[in-house]
Amino acid sequence: MSGGVDSATAAARAVDAGHEVTGVHLALSSNPSSYRTGARGCCTLEDARDARRAADVISIPFYVWDMAERFHRDVVEDFVAEYAAGRTPNPCLRCNEKIKFAAVLDRALALGFDAVCTGHYARASDGILHRAADPGKDQSYVLAVLTSDQLRHAMFPLGDTPKTQVRAEAARRGLAVAAKPDSHDVCFVADGDTKGFLARHLGQAPGRIVDESGAVVGEHEGAYAFTVGQRRGLRVDRPAADGRPRYVLDIEPVTRTVTVGPAEGLDITEVMAERPVWTGCAPPSQPLDCLVQLRAHGEVHGCTARLDGEALRIRLHRPARGVAKGQAAVLYHGDTVLGSATISGTSAATPLARVPAGQDLTEVR
Amino acid sequence: MSSNRTSPVYLDHAATTPMRPEAIAAMTEELARLGNPSSLHAAGRRARRVVEESREQLAEVFGARPSEVVFTSGGTEADNLAVKGLYWARRDGSRRRVLTTSVEHHAVLDSVRWLEEAQGAEAVWLVVGSDGAVRPEVLRAAIAQAPQQVAMVSVMWANNEVGTVQPVSELAAVAHEYGVPFHTDAVQAAAQLPVDFAASGADALTVTGHKLGGPVGAGALILARGAAPVPVLHGGGQERDIRSGTLDTPAIRAFAVAAAVCAKQRADEAERLAALRDDLVHQVLAAVPDAVLNGPPPGPGRLPGNAHFSFPGCEGDALLMLLDANGIACSTGSACTAGVAEPSHVLLAMGADDSRARGSLRFSLGHTSTKHDVDALGLVIGEVVDRARRAAAR
């Protein structure tokens, strides 16, 4: 129970469904005030109090579990390391994978519980994950990394309900968090300034900004401050020859080179992904026509996915923009999650002049 | 999860103990009556009379003169007043040292730390043995380093986690050899040991109502007539100008009534609790042979109602939750940050490693404890520890 309206309502529904429910709030920092203050995160003393009050109202036992060490190691350090490696991680996904449905679930099972119930908007049955009924709130993308075994011990009581109804229900149940704002930013970045957070952890790592021809057009103090598809804050010395806006096309962590170029350079036709997890189907032996989502709340694209050894090669039927390494590629059939893998490389429709597309893909591990 | 919340078993009397019926009756009667004890009219005089009779009753129970009883809101306030107030009163440039142990309750511990951080004090932490006790010669050596620089000494009478009874009168005597004021937090001792202020030799002694069957919110600093701490609370000048604030007549009366009942039964009760505690220790060790009883061996060196164990390979909060689900209330006996159990500073000071300090539980008995409570724990503790071990091994 994070202290928000979703987990509180989910807990209440689990009680209504006849389960024996215990509320657990995760302490994710050994020094709670070091994470976000205010009501929008999930790690503050105030949130712990809100969660406790919700548990009181629902009349369930409530405990705080100390997951600070695991969270720091598996989520915060991973987040920093991923940026340092030129990738764009999704810490919520990592928290689900390593904390909520791993460390917490393992401990819960050992202590005699049967499942972890959360306020995520998604549906799970028989180890298969489906999108939530509310498309605007659907969180299947950040849960798709879970294995079937993890999903069999997961309960998402809100998957069938639109968020507005959840708020109304929370108010009806007398839960004070009914009108509490949703959290949006990374919960462990206290002030919402991810760039500043990374700069504090990674220090300055200056490098060059080059255009797609390889010409140096500027300098930066840390490639981690950039995300593929980013347009603002590039601090490029001279405008593009054609005067059109430029975007981050590629981040090369070893030489700390950030490549910028026109929007077409963002058009990706093939995505390479690693460590696939299959829950909605067996690992495909034949090329698989399905849908793919390439970032949280992103659009879906028609694609043909095929296994290439340990890796997954996803040919997009139409080019997609702003695909960042480190994000998840989640495959869907309709609303059903087939599988998920971590994006490790991309091929552009307009290849960068300095590296042929094929080579670009083989460069990443 | 099995659960049995129908017959709760309360083994956390050191946190708070049920109010005695006599105290509830006195308090509810007094709540219906009017009067501020500081007012000069008849209603005020009536309330003042109740407060003064209560003061006399408490003075008798704790071996003090009535004028030595300074009412406070409880133990934490009394500790703050003693530690900060005596430090401020004695501070004159050279007397900056505050001597205390690292096993104190946070009310003393954090007051001393604050004096150090914000008020120029120098904390001297007296080393305790593996049983949690501080030896008088340790105090003597610490004072003798620089007797002129010592502002005050504070050592608790009995430890709230592991039940260690400190040699308070010997320690007070050492402090007095050097003319240094001595404070003791007797919050845990007051319900189970004969706490006699005059005989102890202490200059200041903390007691509180809710640990002996009185209400939360009433306590006292028993303060020798010569001791004049600088006030922490300023205002109307109540309580010898040392502790301002309107006196809580109903709570004070209930505190005194509870203390009197407690004192009358104390000798028999201590014997009864010690026997129950020994049974509890026996049953826990029978079910979990590798459990470690922390603190001194049962006997005069330990509070009769206290048992405190480390369960190797377990996390204290998992044990607490599983026992709670079985209707058994106990404590990890340590401070919380946002509900997260920190490893016990007391066990760490006694030389335990971090994992032993984390995997510990306190069971504390009090005036409503019965053999049924102890047997209920004995019945489930083995299975609970097995399960917590499996969870910790993940």
- A63/B322 touch (CB, cutoff 8 Å), yes or no: no
Q: What is the per-residue burial (b if ≥16 Cβ within 10 Å, else e) of A18-30?
A: ebebbbbbbbbbe
Q: What is the pLDDT of residue A357?
A: 37
B314 is catalytic: no
Q: What is the pLDDT of residue A28?
A: 86
In the DSSP assignment, the letter for residue A298 is P
Considering only CA atoms, which of B11, B12, B14 is closest in space to residue B378? B11
Average predicted confidence (pLDDT) for chain A: 88
CATH class, domain A267-363, is mainly beta
Predicted complex ipTM exceeds 0.90: no
Distances (CA, A) of B290 to B78, B309, B311: 39, 10, 7
CA A272 to chain centre: 18
- A106/B341 touch (CB, cutoff 8 Å), yes or no: no
Confidence of residue B371 (pLDDT cuts 50, 70, 90): very high
Q: What is the dihedral of CA B272, B278, B283, B287, to 10 degrees?
A: 160
Q: What is the pLDDT of residue A46?
A: 84
How many whole angstroms separate alpha carbon A123 and alpha carbon A51? 23
Q: What is the pLDDT of residue A244?
A: 83
Task: Let me know how long chain A is.
Answer: 365
pTM: 0.88
Q: What is the pLDDT of residue A241?
A: 73
Q: What is the pLDDT of residue A212?
A: 84
Centre a 10 Å sphere on the Cβ of residue B135 and count the other Cβ atoms it contains.
Answer: 16
Selecting from B1, B318, B393 the residue whose C-beta is nearest the C-beta of A20 gives B1
How many whole angstroms separate alpha carbon B347 and alpha carbon B361? 11
Q: Is residue A88 within 8 Å of A228, Cβ to Cβ? A: yes
Residues of chain B with CATH 3.90.1150.10: 9-19+266-393
| Burial (Cβ within 10 Å: 0-12, 13-18, ≥19) of residue B20 | buried
Q: What is the pLDDT of residue B340?
A: 65
Question: Which residue from A minimizes the CA distance to B324?
Answer: A61
DSSP string, A77-108: HHHHHHHHTT----HHHHHIIIIIIIIHHHHH
Catalogue the E-assigned strands of chain B.
9-10, 69-72, 97-101, 122-126, 150-154, 182-185, 204-208, 219-223, 292-293, 306-310, 328-329, 336-337, 340-341, 360-364
Residues of chain B with CATH 3.40.640.10: 21-261
Question: With contacts defined as CB-CB under 8 Å, which chain A residues touch B394?
Answer: 103, 106-107, 110
Q: DSSP 3-state assignment of A149?
A: helix
Give the pair of three-digit tokens for residue A123.
Answer: 């549906």
CATH architecture observed for domain A204-264: Roll (2.30)
Question: With contacts defined as CB-CB under 8 Å, which chain B residues touch A68?
Answer: 340
How many whole angstroms separate alpha carbon B254 and alpha carbon B234? 25
Asked if A34 has any chain B CB less than 8 Å from its own CB, the reply is no
Q: What is the pLDDT of residue A42?
A: 45
pLDDT tens profile B321-358: 999 999 999 998 665 555 566 788 999 999 999 888 88
What is the CATH topology of the domain spanning B9-19+266-393? Aspartate Aminotransferase, domain 1 (3.90.1150)
Q: What is the pLDDT of residue A45?
A: 78
Chain A interface, mutation test: which of B326, B328, B340, B342, most A Cβ atoms within 10 Å? B340
Q: How many CA atoms lie within 13 A of B38 on its CB side?
A: 12
What is the CATH topology of the domain spanning B21-261? Aspartate Aminotransferase; domain 2 (3.40.640)
- B1/A22 touch (CB, cutoff 8 Å), yes or no: yes
Q: What is the pLDDT of residue B4?
A: 45
In the DSSP assignment, the letter for residue B135 is P
Question: What is the arithmetic mean of pLDDT over B360-384?
Answer: 97
The residue ranges of chain A whose pLDDT is under 70 are: 30-44, 237-238, 351-365
Question: What is the arithmetic mean of pLDDT over B38-58?
Answer: 97
Cα diameter, chain A? 67
Selecting from A32, A48, A110 the residue whose C-beta is nearest the C-beta of B394 gives A110
pLDDT tens profile A241-276: 777 888 999 888 889 999 998 888 889 999 999 999
Residues 6+ apart with CB under 8 A from B345: B102, B103, B109, B334, B335
Q: Which residues of B touch A (CB under 8 A)?
A: 1-3, 317-318, 321-322, 324-325, 337-341, 387-388, 390-391, 393-394
pLDDT tens profile B213-264: 999 999 999 999 989 999 999 999 999 999 999 999 999 999 999 999 999 9
Question: Which residue from B minimizes the CA distance to A65?
Answer: B340
Asked if A56 has any chain B CB less than 8 Å from its own CB, the reply is no
Question: With contacts defined as CB-CB under 8 Å, which chain A residues touch B323?
Answer: none
CATH architecture observed for domain A5-179: 3-Layer(aba) Sandwich (3.40)
Q: What is the pLDDT of residue A9?
A: 98
Residues of chain A with CATH 2.30.30.280: 204-264
